[in-house]
Amino acid sequence: MSSRILDAEVTAIVNDNQTYHLRLAPDSIGYVCNYRPQVNDHIVLKAMKRSQGDSLGKEATAETTVPAKPSIEVLSHEVLRDNSYREVNQLYSGADTIMRITCRINDAGGEQYYRLRIRGEKGIVTETWNNPEFEREGVQEYEYDYYLTMQDIFFSDDPLFVDSRLNSNFGGWPAYFSNVFDNSIIKGASYTITLDSPIPGNNFYTISGYDSGTGKTVWEQIIVDKYSPRVMVELQAISHDFYRYLKSLQLYRIVQSDAFSEPVQIYSNVQNGWGIFGSLSSQRILIPYD
Predicted pLDDT of residue 204 = 57
**Structure confidence by residue, pLDDT tens digits, 26-68:** 887 789 999 999 999 999 999 988 665 555 578 999 999 999 9
**Please, are residues 101 and 77 in contact by the beta-carbon 8 Å criterion?**
yes
CA atoms within 13 A on the CB side of 47: 26
List all residues 6 or more positions away from 178 whose beta carbon is below 8 Å from its beta carbon.
161, 162, 163, 166, 247, 250
Strand 91-92 to strand 72-80: parallel, antiparallel, or no bridges (unpaired)? unpaired
The domain ranges of the chain are 8-65, 77-268+279-288
Q: What is the pLDDT of residue 85?
A: 55
Residues 165 and 246: their CA atoms lie apart, in Å, by 13
Q: Is the pTM of this model over 0.75?
A: yes
How do strand 98-106 and strand 72-80 relate by DSSP bridges? antiparallel
The SS3 of residue 17 is coil
Query: Could you give the percent of the chain with pLDDT greater than 90?
Result: 51
Average pLDDT score over residue span 202-206: 60
Kindly report, residue by residue over 81-140, the tens digit of the pLDDT: 866 654 555 555 556 788 999 999 999 999 999 999 999 888 777 766 565 554 544 444
